[in-house]
Structure 1
């Protein structure tokens, strides 16, 4: 993004106003005040109840209808879950291979392709959402805000004689910045220095602190705080990682897994006695999922576990001493006894 565009977007976000031009008319779409937002929510609740009374389905009922009609199947849900996991795996890999220019860019292409496929499947799942009670309520709320928060440039309320609320609503939503754009604004000038001397809430930066935050304002605040937290992290990544959204997302995932494992290890220590803690191995049967148990295993333990499962699958019945890790343990004990004997 060019500097002049960053300047424009930051000034627009700070103002909380979006300009829409059509037929020689400039319309200001203002963020609602707190009271106006409350009024729009009352309107949304009323719209939901009216739709429900008229027999419109809720989102849950709509999904059930789609399943019964064969429009959404278990395979679709599994594909969404699989794509999400694949994207996360690739995101971790792009961080691990960030120094390899060719491989990094190939992985990036895979991430984009996965995101596109995920969006297509998700679009299939949500294709009827606007026809649900929730969809009707949300549309009614947005329409109320547009009809009550649009003005001419001189502050007079817009009368909608020449431009419909639907057109303004569509243009307003198209004006929202993507997450990628917001992240770039958050870590660069002119916002970076303004943020550094602010109170970190946005109240002393944005033009109308008495109005609700816009989507772009909320997104910019979230990412500004996120980058602050990264800089304060004990394992803060280098700048080249921070500047690359995909690589940084990989760092986020790795840190998440570290925290998850540390939490599980702490829970394990709190819920077991010293005798079990010092045991060579512990078999656990309970309400913890297989994924949680696997997380506690280090790479060596995972390798021995896989070897055991493979041997059991091959032979059906296996004695304890036949496992490779048990043989290694006994061999180590024999070596220790031999060394002690001849000291």
Structure 2
């Protein structure tokens, strides 16, 4: 018999403990092979009696522990397991307005700090509420479009597993992570997206002319994405991680800056496995420490006051501002006096 600690309505994520460790953050420890996210229901039952160390923060709809589960669940001091009511979109009203109670299950409008869930429907939503929901999540079975009409601030995670989130040029601030699932789409438009947590894109991100500003610490960029503007400015020593074997394309402006005594480190999520970057527009890059990076653009990335921590391709770590065309088929030397010498007497400099 299940012992629900909160009302359960979602299909539960069931603990198996079949992974290489006992951590809740390890995807292979769950039946779904996915780590539970905001709004999920979590179940510990006879499927496994292995202990669980809950090592990350999440807002669950429900936690169920059956009498058949013989293990121990330990919550790490650095983690929080929050049980939070969520409000579910039904789209049952005569319009598509989020401000219409008839469009929400139980005719209950979401308030600030509520969890908001879109699943099991194709009904569009016009988000005209001026609230800060703790999290917003669309399920993989959501087929509608959420059109944002006012600036949106989310203290937790934004998860788009299905459907379309249309930002319409409105500002978006997410204190947690932005997660785009394989069936999900975010249309950035001209919005400014400020992100304190991780960016994971397994679906579609239409950048438009949007800017993504990375404002947290030790952030991770996962999946392949094309950004219009991407910026990370670190005032203290910090690291930005890129998933190994992925490529990030920046169409317009790339900004990666540390300080003279506090370098911004750019790292792969797997040591000795490169991450790729393709900055196609302007670059504002200074005081960085780079390892395992492959610049796939034909123009070398100048990194004045930068540190080469090895296994990098297509970077120039000199203290000059050389911006010569970099050609893998032509060996050349970049000098701080602006003279660029190339084999076979061919000039390849661009001033």
TM-score computed with the length of structure 2 as normaliser: 0.22
Q: Rg bigger for which structure?
A: 1
Higher relative contact order (CA 8 A, sep 6+): 1
TM-score computed with the length of structure 1 as normaliser: 0.22
